[in-house]
Structure 1
Amino acid sequence: MERIFQAGDIMLGALLPLHIDKEYHPVSFRERPPHINCTTFNFENFQQLQALIIAVEEINKNPNIIPNITLGFQAYDSCNVLQKDLEGMFQILTGHGEAIPNYQCLKNISVAAVIGPYVSTHAILLANILGVYRYPQISHFATSRLLSNQVMFPSFFRTVPSDAFQSEGLAKLVLFFSWTWVGLLAVDNDYGQQGIQVVKQEIEKAGACVAFSETILMSLPDRNAKHIVKVMKDSTATAIVVFSLPADFLPVLEEMLVQNITTKMLVASEGWSTSTLFIGHKFKDILYGTIGLGLQSGIIPEFRGFLNKAHLSTGLGNYWLKLLWEDIFTCKFLEEKNLTTPMEKPVNICTGIESLESISNSYNDVSSLRTTYNVYTAVHVVAKALEDLKNCCETGDLCPHRRCPDIWNFTPWQLLYYVRKVRIKLSSGRDLFFDQNGDPPAVYDIVNWKLSPEGTIKQVKVGSYDIAASFGQFFTLNTSAIMWATEDHKCSWDEWPNLQNSRCIQKGIEYLSYEDPLGATLAATSILSSLVPVFILRLFIKHRTTPIVKANNYSLSCLLLFCLPLCFLCSLAFVGFPQPEKCLLCQVAFGLVFALCVSCILAKTIMVVLAFMATKPVSKLRRLASPLVSYIIISICFLLQFLLCMVWLLKAPPHTEYNTETKPGIIIVQCNNGSTVGFWSMLGYLGLLATISFIVAFLSRGLPDTFNEAKYITFSMLAFLSVWVSFTLASLSAQGKYIVATEIFAILSSSWALVICMFVSKCYIILFKPQMNSRKSLIKKDCKPVRAKHIM
């Protein structure tokens, strides 16, 4: 196998597909298969080899990373062929270009890790073998979700996210644009089949339809392209999700070119979404407008200069450098071509003095390094693990066997322990680390294929997809920057295409309306409920001279009963079309009314305590038991909530929002709270008032029965807090109009809790037990002894 070898005290292995295809020969199974000849040299992948070399150079020159130790490497060209990946792995483990299982030729030199392979199916096979010996394996491109099984593959890691995240992202991307009639195309390996199944499940679960699902057959030279393109041509589906690698998708594009298929909207997996294999003029009419997920890009310092310094005279990878030279400068070296043989076309002769600095193409374009940056990152992961292993004694971070390994003589499983714990800083500012499955955090770029001024295809980042973002904020997408392949998907934001993509139809609109049975029920309940505290207020006014009304602070009770109908009625502001004025006021009105209500209860609680503690004639607290103090408490508490709401309205006020992301084909019209901090601060302040009332009432629950208001306040505040804690949890999972319905239900429930706990028992005595509503009955209760521990 073709390889590069650079000696070192510790060796690193790498398997990279510098060629991306092979010659296909019929296999009869009657004779030994012919030797595998690699074809289609790819200088984009040669850039990955250069990233490996520069990373090793940086590490060896850096005195802060494994000083006095030289990191060497062996790199093999796998040609995207399973047998060559397997052979290359054994040669890495054996050393000196030999492939002898269970034998190591490099005496006293440890093999730290293997970087690669490129393809998921190959990575699975190698992970089964390397896992036996616990050799750390770090792939820069294998994304199959099967590889996340650390029980089966205990030493496998990767610097790319799992397809479990990508597949969901592609499905969400399709649904984001409201494409409901979608074709699926995937390569027939673990990467393609596992990935496309999740896409299909997510699309169908959301109510969209799959027009067709076809497979790219890797075993055939043409990849079954004629059949696939015929299906695409016959189908009315315009959007097609393609899960493939560039070399396997190339024959399909060639056949699309032959059959003149230029009206399909391709949605690309990360395997080919940023490939430079298709960026020439040839496929521009087919690929223009393609959108897909790409691996997050990174920057390697001084990498362009390093790439341009590559020259035949360096001797490192001379064979591949010749291929690079011939590919970039469109020439042939003399020894590669017999010039005396008649040729159909004249061939330029490579002189070897050509300068890479004079050209500008995808080889020395370092503006958006993706797979290349993942190779660079993988090398630094190994170096960081080696550094941590070397510093084991200094940090006290011992291996499971409780002893520090020797950096000059360590076993693979000892280094594996430190690879699991690696955390390094990426050029984007993010940290790379591995979770319990050996996967890094999942972040993707959303790329769109546009035409450059020169008429070639360029891939432009138009957004990002971040799994770690807050709920509902996974996509950051600049839709105005997207160029589309066909006019048929250019529906306005409030429309979506029909199944045949022949016309745009209006999206349905969803909000909690009065015509909706749920909205009508909640509105009716609010109105009827508001009559109850009005009835109780009239009852209190009529019996205001009775002892039970006097004993429970008549003025504060009336103020509370005046607030409670407003609490019930404020829920009506949430029903109906969310107009800007309604959005601006509904949450604020709710916050202020409930603040006034809970402030009254807090004042009642404090007055109960003060009234009992000020019973002695010489007590200094007698002046604090006056009604004026209760009104001051209410005013201060209400004023704080008022100021909080005013700041909220001035800084980031609520507004009407048209949500087209949550449900495909549906526009959810809702009130955006503007400032999340403002909303939860307002709600949190209510919770603070209720908590203080609860604590004070609970501590004073043992006062004489004349003042047993504390017991009822304790129960009312406990119910109030329970309702709003439940709302907070429920709102995290609710969507659309059900979020509004949940808040209305919380408003009604908490209001009813106050009515029932604070007033039902008093109304019962007034209406049905008038004999208990007498001075004599209250005096009897006053005579009961009080234990001091209840009033501390």
Structure 2
Amino acid sequence: LLTEDVIGYSLAGDITLGGIFSVHVDTNHPVINFRESPQPLQCNRFHLRYYRFFLAMVYTIMEINASDDLLPNITLGYKLYDSCYNEVRSLMGAQWILSGKEKVVPNFNCNKDIMPLAIIGDLPSKASIPLARILGLYRYPQVSYGSVHPSLSEKTQFPSFLRTIHNANYEVFVLAQLLKYFNWTWVGIISSDNDLGRSGAQLVSREIENNGGCIAFNEILPIVNFMGSVYRIVDVIQKSRATVIIAYCTIESFIPLIEEASIHNITDKVWLGTTLWTISSDFSKNEIRTTLNGSLGIATQHGNIPGFKEFLYNIHPSVSLDDLLIKTFWENAFQCVWPENGTYNNSSPAPHREDIVWCTGKERVDSIDPNIFDVYNFRVTHNVYTAVLSVAHALHQMNNCVPGKGPFKNGSCADIYNHQPWQLLHYIKHIRFNNTAGEEIYFDANGDVPLYLDILNWQMFPNGSNQYVSIGGFDAQAPKGQELKIQINKILWNVGHGQIPVSVCSDPCPRGHRRATIQGQKICCFDCLPCSEGEILNPNSDSKCLKCPEDQWPDSMKERCLPKTIQFLSYDEPLGSSLACISVLFCLITFSAFCLFIAKRKTPIVKANNRELSYLLLISLMFGFLCSLAFIGRPNLKTCMIRQVLFAVIFSFCISVILAKTVTVIMIFSATNPDSKLKRLVAMRIPVYIVPVCTMVQIILCIVWLARAAPFAEFNMAAEIGIIVIECNEGSRVLFACVLGYMGLLAAVSLLVACLARKLPDTFNETKFITFSMLVFASVWLTFIPAYLSTKGKQTVAVEIFAILSSMAGLLVCIFIPKCYIILLHPEMNSKQYITGRNTRNRGT
């Protein structure tokens, strides 16, 4: 180790605490030629904010000494040393603190009476780690306020190390939670080329990938000769589609990168920072603050230190004569030089003589820009405050120990003025007290305090000023899933981001589309393919689709399976109610014709057309119109069995009557011929048997059909997309075809017989009308076949009802309307004389 006079800032007391602080943040390394004693390390770049950490320990000890509750009648002293953010300086400071001599003597304690009982520090992990290894050999308590390296939690390596700041591994988890919260899945990572940076980058990459995210790029910033890498990384940032970049870097390596990014005007990125640089005051250039505007960062929890702001406002070189750093602070804070120095000290470059501004001592600390010397937001400063209080509370408990009830062998206690380091370490590990915010402070088995992190948002204002705004926090003690809390309304994003920025490789798939990974790309880069018909997006995996159950169908967005709409021809819908009304209307018309025929049953026109068969035909037409009602409504077993049977029997009966009427006309007119052989058939009244026989055949067919394979209601899932059609399954298709075929046979025979008899003479010869009606009947049912086959669902039933009504209406109109017309409007034609006269004229002709 380099040895030199390493004078620090000290204050005598009954018992003493040591403190190591990185007030300067850079050192000049001397050239070592091994021929002469090396020159001491020269410290550069005085850091105003880090000096505040230094003053926090001074203030806390002053407050403890003034307290009547904590360590009463005991005065605490301190020995503070500036390590200049350097490992070697940190070890030199520890030697000075522990040996008690200006000329340090390693492994010797030359002033045992005032030997510090514990060391507070250091800030950087790189300085705390070697120091903790040495102090751990003696179980000498060390409480750091800023070292976050995860390895420091391993008590096998660092048994006497404790800290009032979190383990850096927790930052990894918080960063991953932030990405998940804002749905940022395509992220870049930049880390420092050191142990903390590399391990942190690996952990955060793993956590991001576990949450379904991807790493767009992972770049490392070298410690030395880094500008070439900075240029390359900035080029990668500009070309990448990733909007969010995690900077897991130390402040030393991050500043050159962000300066280069600001030169290239990269303002469309969201930087996620760790505690290594988030609340740094080193970003003095306005361009850098513009680049970082809208970024998010993790910071240690904000804390309150009562009276500390007033203490800072009252510091002055004329008051703190023993503080070797106060004048350097003054010169850097007010950009002036004390007259006795004549120039700037080694921590600042010397300007031209004519540009020197002399310090007068009248400068006021409360006039310093809060962005440079913040006296309102205490984070790491509060950690220093907590660290000193932790040791003080441990000493207080040691001092109040009752012999016989102590924590050591046989209930013994330790002497606060003469004890072993490991005894104080025991008390520090087991302290529990509430800080000024009422929060309980204690150390867990790893020497860490309860975890709570603030989430900050960099916000820059038009006047060039900026501030860190707390927009949420992470509380490790909160219930699982509720650790992270964000107030989105407080966030101000960078230029061009009015809403939450998007950072994805591929835009999210529209609803009802699944992700299809692109070969050779990461899972965050994908194409979107629509789910097939009848499928929804898998709620547990957006890369798969699920087929809905048979009785369900996807909603319009293909996100849920909904029960299919049940469809049947009902009375509640316009089509069903219209067909029902038409059916009833035609039934009433037929009934009116029937009543008219009953009333005029003795008139020649009714008698001349076989009125008994006409009555039967009208009755069958009425039932034919009404049977269509059985096709309307929700199908069930009974309606399915009844409606087709009714339709078949009634139609067969109707056509049988028409056949009987036609045969009757032919037999009567043929019997008038003297040579006709049909005279004997007329006497046998064959037409009377046609109706029951033909109808009975159909009834037998229907009975066999119902007995063998009766129709039943079924749910047709495939008839229409997204609809369940309740319809009647006809059971045996062969028997159903026999029933229909028999009706077709009767209709064909009736049409043939009617065509043969259409030229028979008589004014009221019905065969012409029967022929025309049967042509209408045949046309309707021949048209029905293609129409029936081309429709689906309830329209199929509607087509069948329409065919029934049309064919029945054709029979009614063609056969009975002309007779009703004569009966009602031309009664003079409804007379025997007219019929006889017409017949006479026909014969004369």
TM value normalised by structure 1:
0.61
- Residue among 457, 470, 474 paired with 2:483: 474
The correspondence of residues 603-682 of structure 1 with structure 2, limited to 5 A, is none
Write out aligned runs for 1:770-789 (5 A): none
Seen in structure 2, the aligned counterparts of structure 1 residues 172 and 94 have a Cα distance that, compared at 3 Å, is same
Distance 1:263 1:24 in 2: 39
Inter-partner Cα distance in structure 2 for 1:130 and 1:465: 32
Using the alignment, how far apart are the partners of 1:342 and 1:373 within structure 2? 36
The sequence identity of aligned pairs, in percent, is: 34
**SS state at 1:251 partner:** helix
The residue identity in structure 1 corresponding to 2:425 is L
Within 5 Å, which residues of 2 pair with 1:39-188? 39-188=44-193
Q: Do the aligned residues in 1 keep the contact of 2:457 with 2:468 (CA within 8 Å)?
A: yes
Q: Counterpart of 2:194?
A: 189
What's 2:843 paired with?
A: none
Whole-angstrom distance in 2 between the partners of 1:292 and 1:342: 36
What is the one-letter code of the residue matched to 1:438?
G
- In the alignment, structure 1 residue 499 sits paired with structure 2 residue 505: yes
Residue 280 of structure 1: CA displacement?
5.5
- Aligned pair in 2 of structure 1 residues 2, 290: CA closer, same or farther (>3 Å)? farther
Q: Distance in 1 between matches of 2:53 and 2:157?
A: 28
Q: Tell me how far apart the structure 2 counterparts of residues 390 and 507 of structure 1 sit (CA, whole Å).
A: 68
Residues 121, 189 of structure 1: 8 Å contact kept: no
Instruction: Name the counterpart of 1:350.
Output: 359
Q: In the alignment, is residue 381 of structure 1 matched against residue 387 of structure 2?
A: no
Cα distance, 1:123–1:222 mapped onto 2, change above 3 Å? farther
Change in Cα spacing, 1:222 to 1:526, as seen in structure 2 (3 Å) is: same
- Provide the alpha-carbon RMSD of the alignment: 3.4
| Cα separation, 2, equivalents of 1:311 and 1:516 | 69
Task: Give the residue type in structure 2 aligned to 1:198.
Answer: L
Q: Which runs of 5+ in 2 are unaligned?
A: 1-5, 345-349, 515-533, 553-558, 564-845
How far apart are 1:413 and its partner, in Å? 0.4
Counterpart among 190, 208, 213 of residue 213 in structure 2: 208
Counterpart of 1:462, as a letter, is I
Q: Say yes or no: does 1:443 pair with 2:452.
A: yes
In structure 1, how many angstroms separate the alpha carbons of the residues matched to 2:496 and 2:510?
17
The one-letter amino acid paired with 2:213 is A
Equivalents in 1 of 2:227, 2:178: separation in Å?
30
Per the alignment, residue 798 of structure 2 pairs with none
1:245 deviates by: 3.0
Corresponding residue number in structure 2 for 1:314: 319
Contact 1:185/1:240 (<8 A) preserved: yes
Deviates more, 1:176-185 or 1:352-361: 352-361
What code does the residue aligned with 1:249 have? Answer: F
Counterparts of 1:577 and 1:477 in 2: how far apart (Å)?
36
Alpha-carbon distance in structure 2 between the residues aligned to 1:524 and 1:289: 48
Q: For the Cα contact (< 8 Å) 1:464–1:475, is it kept in 2?
A: yes
Per-residue deviation at 1:416? 0.7
2:35, 2:220 → 1: CA distance? 29
SS in 2 for 1:333: coil
Counterpart in 2 of 1:540? Answer: none
1:215-273 per-residue CA deviation (whole Å, 9 max, x = no partner) reads 23334586953343343334332211112232332222222233333332210001211
CA distance in 1, matches of 2:373, 2:401: 39
Q: Which amino acid aligns with 1:424?
A: F
Partner residue, 2:41: 36
Q: In 1, are the aligned partners of 2:11 and 2:79 still within 8 Å (CA)?
A: yes
Given the superposition, is the C-alpha separation of residues 454 and 243 from structure 1 closer, same or farther in structure 2, using an over 3 Å criterion?
Answer: same
CA distance in 2, matches of 1:392, 1:26: 53
> Are the aligned partners of 2:512 and 2:536 in contact in 1 as well (CA < 8 Å)?
no
In the TM superposition, what are the counterparts of 1:246-257 in structure 2 within 5 Å?
A: 246-257=251-262
How has the CA–CA distance of structure 1 residues 221 and 193 changed in structure 2, closer, same or farther, with 3 Å as cutoff? closer
Residue identity in the other structure for 2:307: E
Match of 1:391 in 2: 400
* DSSP-derived class of the 2:318 partner: helix
The equivalent of 1:405 in structure 2 is 414
Pair 249,525 (structure 1): closer, same or farther in 2 beyond 3 Å:
same
State the distance in 2 between where 1:285 and 1:272 align: 16
Number of corresponding residues: 524
Q: Does 1:258 align with 2:263?
A: yes
Query: Structure 1 residue 325: deviation in Å?
Result: 1.1
Q: Quote the residue 1:22 is aligned against.
A: 27
CA gap of 1:127–1:524, structure 2 versus 1, over 3 A, is: same
Q: CA deviation at 1:88?
A: 0.8
* d(CA) in 2 for partners of 1:360, 1:257: 23
Q: Confirm or deny: 8 A CA contact 1:497 1:505 kept in the other structure.
A: no
Whole-angstrom distance in 1 between the partners of 2:155 and 2:280: 30
2:141 and 2:424 in contact (8 A); partners too: yes
The one-letter amino acid paired with 2:487 is N
- Which of 261, 280, 289 lines up with 1:284 in the alignment? 289
Partners of 1:403 and 1:411 in 2: CA distance: 13
The residue that corresponds to 1:423 in the other structure is: 432
Alpha-carbon contact 1:299-1:427 (below 8 Å) kept = yes
Cα offset, 1:284, TM superposition: 2.0
- Contact 1:185/1:241 (8 A) holds in 2: yes
Q: One-letter code of the match for 1:405? A: A
Q: Distance in 2 between matches of 1:227 and 1:114?
A: 42
CA contact (8 A) 1:184 1:212 kept: yes
Q: 1:304 to 1:201 in 2, by over 3 A?
A: same
Comparing 198-207 with 326-335, which one deviates more in the overlay?
A: 326-335
Q: For residue 826 of structure 2, what is the aligned residue in structure 1?
A: none
Which structure has the greater CA radius of gyration? Answer: 2
> 1:365 aligns to what?
374
Structure 1 gaps, min length 5: 528-573, 579-792
The answer as to whether partners of 1:120 and 1:143 remain within 8 angstroms in 2 is yes
Question: For each residue in 1:571-619, what CA deviation from the matched residue of structure 2 results, as whole angstroms up to 9, or x when unmatched?
Answer: xxx98689xxxxxxxxxxxxxxxxxxxxxxxxxxxxxxxxxxxxxxxxx
